[in-house]
């Protein structure tokens, strides 16, 4: 039986359907799991994604892209192949891709998480024969606490810094993590305004148009012109961890929100504090998801999966790489 999906120099390829999933270079037809830049390439002829990803994709693609949004669960035909998108719980619009051909069902997870997140659609288990799963945190030491607890800690950190008249500068990924924090804070800080880097503004608008409630925000101006940020919370992407950028705010405290903060010392990255908040599945979520799909054939990607692969083989799973195209 011919494989439904293979690995090519351009990424995951579906020979009977003639399309790529999350390609690494320009391709004629791409199925895109979500709008993070490591999962698509500008310049292709046509991209397909979930309907709620379309706005984000158009922000990130150059020129006048041809992007087609497909509702979750709706089936598309590519020759003899049927494709559908299913929620992945990673960021707004993030999807798993179900591919069915010749009686085989494959699911490509993209990036996903199982924990509650008020800023995106919740993960959906999709039964399949072969599950292609991300392995970003495929190590038994990766174990997340509930996101609501971590965001409550962020709120308390901000409160303590306000009392000390300090500026709280929290670094986080500008698409997904930043909006998750704002969504969590909207229920905790009674409408208190949060400052954001301008890079996040258009993404926030996409989330709000999609109906997600975010805390009120204000863009940090390029020139403060006497504006005092004393006691404020500022959210910014990690590339602005530069003293020339944040020291102008006054007495600051820096922190980083990432799953890596459960496994690494924040000082290693240049931050004073870390909050372990991840938008990827931890070890238990990876194992649970694999079990719940019913798949017996597993392909791991996007990370060091050696520990997970060994565990799965010990449980009787067939673990392999995608065949080369």
Provide the residue ranges of all domains of the chain, joining segments of one domain with +. Answer: 6-141+280-319, 147-275
Percent of the residues in the chain that have a pLDDT greater than 70, as a whole number: 99
Please give the pLDDT value at position 60: 86
Please give the pLDDT value at position 187: 87
185-200: pLDDT as tens digits: 998 977 899 999 999 9
Mean pLDDT of 65-86: 95
CA–CA gap between residue 56 and residue 175 (Å, rounded):
9
Residue 61 CB neighbour total at 10 angstroms:
19
What confidence category does residue 44 fall into, taking pLDDT thresholds of 50, 70 and 90? Answer: confident
What confidence category does residue 61 fall into, taking pLDDT thresholds of 50, 70 and 90? Answer: confident
137-177: pLDDT as tens digits: 999 999 999 999 999 999 999 999 999 999 999 999 999 99
CB 198 within 8 A of CB 264: no
- DSSP state letter for 258: S
122-144: pLDDT as tens digits: 999 999 999 999 999 999 999 99
Candidates 177, 145, 176, 175; CA nearest to 255 is 177
Please give the pLDDT value at position 48: 96
226-274: pLDDT as tens digits: 899 999 999 999 999 988 899 899 999 999 999 999 999 999 999 999 9
Residue 12 has φ and ψ, to the nearest 5°, of -70, 130
Mean pLDDT of the chain: 95
Mean pLDDT of 73-89: 97
**Domain 6-141+280-319 = CATH 3.60.15.10:** yes
Please give the pLDDT value at position 1: 67
Helix (H) or strand (E) holding 34: none
Number of residues in the chain: 325
As given in the structure block, the two tokens for residue 38 are 């490591």
Please give the pLDDT value at position 323: 85
Please give the pLDDT value at position 191: 80
pLDDT at residue 309 tops 70: yes
Mean pLDDT of 287-314: 97
Candidates 201, 179, 178, 182; CA nearest to 193 is 182
The neighbouring-strand residues paired with 106 are 99, 130
What confidence category does residue 63 fall into, taking pLDDT thresholds of 50, 70 and 90? Answer: low
Percent of the residues in the chain that have a pLDDT greater than 90, as a whole number: 89
Write the DSSP string, 69-116: EE-TT--EEETTEEEEEEE-SSSTT-EEEEEEETTEEEEE--S---S-
- DSSP state letter for 211: T
Angle made by CA atoms 226, 228, 234, in degrees to the nearest 5:
125
- DSSP state letter for 198: G
Question: CATH for 147-275, among 3.40.50, 1.10.3470, 3.10.10, 1.20.58?
Answer: 3.40.50
Please give the pLDDT value at position 138: 97
């Amino acid at each position: 039986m011919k494989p439904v999906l293979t690995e090519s120099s351009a990424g995951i390829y579906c020979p009977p359907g003639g399309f790529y999933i999350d390609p690494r270079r320009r391709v004629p037809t791409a199925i895109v799991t979500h709008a993070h830049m490591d999962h698509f390439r500008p310049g292709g002829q046509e991209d397909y994604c979930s309907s709620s990803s379309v706005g984000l994709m158009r922000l990130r693609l150059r020129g006048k892209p041809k992007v087609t949004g497909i509702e979750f669960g709706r089936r598309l035909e590519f020759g003899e192949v049927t494709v559908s998108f299913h929620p992945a719980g990673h960021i707004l619009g993030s999807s798993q891709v179900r591919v069915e051909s010749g009686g085989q069902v494959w699911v490509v997870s993209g990036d996903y998480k199982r924990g509650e997140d008020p800023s995106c659609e919740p993960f959906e288990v999709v039964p399949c024969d072969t599950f292609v799963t991300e392995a970003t945190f495929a190590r038994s030491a990766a174990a997340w606490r509930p996101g609501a607890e971590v965001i409550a800690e962020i709120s308390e950190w901000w409160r303590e810094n306000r009392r000390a008249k300090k500026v709280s500068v929290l670094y986080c990924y500008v698409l997904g993590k930043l909006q998750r924090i704002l969504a969590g804070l909207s229920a905790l800080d009674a409408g208190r305004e949060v400052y954001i880097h301008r890079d996040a503004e258009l993404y926030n608008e996409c989330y709000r148009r999609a109906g997600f409630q975010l805390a009120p925000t204000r863009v940090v101006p390029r020139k403060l012109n006497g504006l005092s940020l004393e006691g404020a919370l500022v959210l910014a992407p990690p590339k602005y961890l530069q003293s020339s950028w944040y020291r102008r705010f006054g007495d600051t405290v820096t922190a980083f929100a990432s799953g890596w903060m459960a496994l690494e010392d924040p000082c290693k990255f240049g931050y004073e504090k870390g909050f372990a908040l991840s938008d990827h599945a931890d070890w238990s979520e990876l194992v649970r998801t694999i079990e719940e799909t019913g798949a017996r054939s597993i392909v791991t990607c996007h990370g060091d999966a050696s520990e997970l692969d060994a565990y799965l083989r010990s449980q009787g799973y067939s673990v392999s790489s995608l065949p080369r195209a």
